[in-house]
Amino acid sequence: MPEQDNPAQVNVNAKELYNLLGDDAKQLFPRHLYRHHPHVVANMVEKWRDPNRMYQYLSTLFLAEDRRKQGFSNEVMSELIRLRDFYQRLKPFKQSSEYDVWSKTLEEREN
């Protein structure tokens, strides 16, 4: 795992993400993301165990809604794509979500 001169919590988040990646950690750990955007790593760790929240968060990372933001570098985008692909294999996306209005019947939404 890479060294980082950031507060202790950032290191805890990096270690946690490294552990969540399991056997693939050496290949998948997002070194550029961790170095330049540690808050994104922290958010991923927080949402990892809840696929709905994780998929929602990942989708926000790929959309540049705020035109004032510069966006991610090519290296960071490549790491995010690899992480997203890994997560999809680990926890396949299911359409049923509180954010997907078409995933429930009218009766299910009313209850």
Over the chain (111 residues), what is each successive 10-residue block's mean pLDDT? Answer: 48 89 92 94 95 92 70 92 94 65 54 56
Q: Which DSSP category does 103 fall into? A: S
pTM of model > 0.85: no
- Token pair for residue 75? 């290296």
Q: What is the rounded radius of gyration, in angstroms, for the C-alpha atoms of the chain?
A: 16
Q: How far is CA 64 from CA 1, 59, 72, in A?
A: 29, 10, 10
